[in-house]
Structure 1
Amino acid sequence: MDDTFIPFTPPTFIQHINDFCHNPIIAPFAYAGFWSVFCILSPLGALFLLISLPFFVIKEVILSVNAIIYDKSNPNHLSRDHAELVVVVTGCDTGFGNDLVLKLLKSPPPPCPGSSSSSVTVFAFCYSEAGCERVSLQSLGLDAYGINAVHPVQCDVTSEKSVAGAFAAVAAYISRPKEEGSKCFLHSVVNNAGVGTPGYVDMIPVKKESGKVCSFERDMEVNYFGALRVVKAALPLIKDQATAATSSARYTGTCVVNVTSMAGLVSSPNMGAYTGSKHAMEAVSTCLGYELKPWGCNVTTVNPSFHRTPLVEGIEGFVDVMYRESEVARRDYGKDFCTELKRKSITGSKLAEWRAENVSGCIYDQIYHRRSGQLLVGMDARFAIAVIRHFPASFQRAMVAGWKGAQFYIGVQPNLCKNKLS
């Protein structure tokens, strides 16, 4: 390495301007001035957006039409240069993952460059043995497309050993002896496994305790570290096939789809553990997108708002668990506050609870038809939250929970605040 390189740093006068802008007296004026200029110039931004929107619409329509034509006309036959494409999906016991597995089995496989025909084999990673059995039974009663197939594998994403064992099975399957001319590649990895812990930050334990399944640690272990374990386990396969010595054994364009959440973009009260883990996964997904580009690997995120899944349906029970097991919840907040918190949690999730198949459909589009970037799922996600998250932080907080009528406005004071000295 060349240790003579001198990195560029801002010149002194820029440093002074930065210091000036952060002076406690000047800072609010600088902040107000920036947003005033932003509002004055926003018509120019709006004009640029209006000009670019038709091109965006045309591109998306072309992609959609091509996808429909491909799905309808894909030849259902085997050729001598057949390509078998492997898709790994985590969290397939229920919810989005389970829906996605069934959709992949029923749908035409994606095209594979250099092959006349292709098929898809889904490795459905399930947390429980019962989940594996459910996927097997569902696949038996399904009219699969061509020779598409599924292999349920029990995998706990919080366990390094379990993830390594699951991917050892995937690697063994891909490298197994095949008929001459046939190929098998890792096509996509979908990080869908997730958990959610509602409750105020000081009600939720940081680590797992005896008898307590809800914690910051639990959400981070599944939603963040679990997804990272899966990506890191998949990387040797992705790199090997992208750098294979022969063109017939080489495959670039593997897709990693991380199912995060709108909670990874906008925070709300009562979701500290879940939101923290999703923000972390959102950030690392962007980093992975940059880092895996040399191997032709495309990293995207799917960001749903509230959709009808067991996780969302269980919010009511989680709030009950918080009140029952947290002394802080009972002592500092009280029954009235926690009852209203429970009501708001249920109302907030039900207010825009969309069908889960919309999310699995969006993941399908990402991995099969190469829709790139960040995909927001749900009308509230695309047309409300997407706007709110670009406002200054103070406005965001007011719109989410600061005003009466806001989605997460509680309106009931905690016991400790009711009894505070005046």
Structure 2
Amino acid sequence: MKRVLITGGASGLGAALAARFAERGDRVLVTDVAAGAPHRLDITSESDWATALERVRDEFGGLDVLVNNAGIAAGGRIDRLSAEHWQRVLSVNVLGAVNGCRTFTPLFKEQGAGHIVNVASAAGLMHPPSMSSYNASKAAVVALSESLRYELGPWGVSVSVVCPSFFRTNLAQSLSGDDPQMEAGAVRLINEARRGADEIAVRVIREVDARKFLIIPDSDGRTAYRAKRFTRFLYDRKMFALGAKLRRDEKTEAARE
């Protein structure tokens, strides 16, 4: 039986992961900023993290798996995104995960064991146009995870980073509205995705159990990642084509105004 803390666990992938862990008998503390979560945790608040650590020590006597899952969706062209948008995305998606790692690393070192699971995105590995803030935030989570893998390994602490492609979830509700045209496309991709959060969760838990570092839980993401690594010219051609489409769409948009 493992002791697990999950952020953003009230819905989406977090809720699916919590259900799968609980089904097999693990003890799970589900945290979320939303009302109704078993434990309220704003991942941007250091005091909330301190309270979560205290509860874990008191009720669980330690922790085996920290899942930094909470995050927000983002999209938009660079000249349409405000400074406030960037600050919000980086504060939640990057510093939220950093706060979790900072809070629980001392406990993991004391135990001589532990596993940090940072949920990033395929956008942390592949970086299409009109998604600069989201891509940057998720790429930072990938880099954070790789760094901690080497830093904490000597203490017996494992690290995994999860990079799923689009799957059906309520993540689109967190879009900020800075660039509605681009965000509408993201919403469509999320809503029309073939996979749901439950399917992703099953694969993630299996590979977390195997102590795998880079977890790409869907075939679309794995295909795209291999294309970028091994046929870069084709990947670049596709990305430039998307950029060219953006330019055509902007011309059409301007002509309508």
In structure 2, the residue corresponding to 1:258 is in which secondary structure?
Answer: strand
Aligned to 1:356: 197
Is contact 2:129-2:243 (8 Å) kept? Answer: no
Q: What do the CA deviations read for 1:121-180 (whole angstroms, capped 9, x no partner)?
A: 1111111222x1xxxxxxxxxxxxxxxxxxx211000111111111111122244xxxxx
Is contact 2:166-2:193 (8 Å) kept? Answer: yes
* Alpha-carbon distance between aligned partners in 2 of 1:189 and 1:218, rounded to the nearest angstrom: 23
In structure 1, the residue corresponding to 2:63 is in which secondary structure?
Answer: strand
* Alpha-carbon distance between aligned partners in 1 of 2:169 and 2:192, rounded to the nearest angstrom: 14
Task: Give the TM-score normalised by structure 2.
Answer: 0.88
Q: How many residues align?
A: 255
Q: What do the CA deviations read for 1:90-131 (whole angstroms, capped 9, x no partner)?
A: 1111101111111111114xxxxxxxxxxx21111111222x
Shift of 1:232: 1.0
Alignment of 1:400-415 (within 5 A): 400=239, 402-403=240-241, 409-410=245-246, 412-415=248-251
* Alpha-carbon distance between aligned partners in 1 of 2:203 and 2:190, rounded to the nearest angstrom: 20
* Alpha-carbon distance between aligned partners in 1 of 2:148 and 2:111, rounded to the nearest angstrom: 18
Alignment of 1:157-196 (within 5 A): 157-175=43-61, 185-196=62-73
Compared with structure 1, are the counterparts of its residues 269 and 351 closer, same or farther at alpha carbon in structure 2 (3 Å cutoff)? farther
Pick from 61, 76, 87 the counterpart of residue 217 of structure 1.
87
Pick from 106, 110, 121 the counterpart of residue 23 of structure 2.
106
The letter for the 2-side match of 1:290 is Y
Is contact 2:17-2:205 (8 Å) kept? Answer: yes
Is contact 1:186-1:238 (8 Å) kept? Answer: yes
Percentage of identical aligned residues: 27
Q: Which has the higher helix share?
A: 2
Shift of 1:351: 5.9
* Alpha-carbon distance between aligned partners in 2 of 1:409 and 1:379, rounded to the nearest angstrom: 26
Q: Which runs of 5+ in 2 are unaligned?
A: none
Is contact 2:75-2:179 (8 Å) kept? Answer: no
Aligned to 2:104: 234
Shift of 1:298: 0.7
* Alpha-carbon distance between aligned partners in 1 of 2:218 and 2:188, rounded to the nearest angstrom: 17
* Alpha-carbon distance between aligned partners in 1 of 2:39 and 2:244, rounded to the nearest angstrom: 39
* Alpha-carbon distance between aligned partners in 2 of 1:261 and 1:187, rounded to the nearest angstrom: 23
The letter for the 2-side match of 1:226 is G
Aligned to 1:16: none
Aligned to 1:4: none
Aligned to 2:206: 365
Shift of 1:305: 0.1
The letter for the 1-side match of 2:178 is M
Aligned to 2:79: 202
Is contact 2:168-2:193 (8 Å) kept? Answer: no
2:7 corresponds to 1:90: yes
Is contact 1:257-1:366 (8 Å) kept? Answer: no
Task: Give the TM-score normalised by structure 1.
Answer: 0.55
Alignment of 1:45-124 (within 5 A): 85-108=2-25, 120-124=26-30
In structure 2, the residue corresponding to 1:390 is in which secondary structure?
Answer: helix
Aligned to 1:17: none
In structure 1, the residue corresponding to 2:167 is in which secondary structure?
Answer: coil
Q: Which runs of 5+ in 1 are unaligned?
A: 1-83, 109-119, 133-151, 176-184, 208-214, 243-251, 325-337
Compared with structure 1, are the counterparts of its residues 186 and 346 closer, same or farther at alpha carbon in structure 2 (3 Å cutoff)? closer
State the 4+ residue runs in structure 1 displaced beyond 3 angstroms. Answer: 341-353, 391-395, 406-411, 415-419
Compared with structure 1, are the counterparts of its residues 158 and 193 closer, same or farther at alpha carbon in structure 2 (3 Å cutoff)? same
Aligned to 1:154: 40
* Alpha-carbon distance between aligned partners in 1 of 2:227 and 2:97, rounded to the nearest angstrom: 28
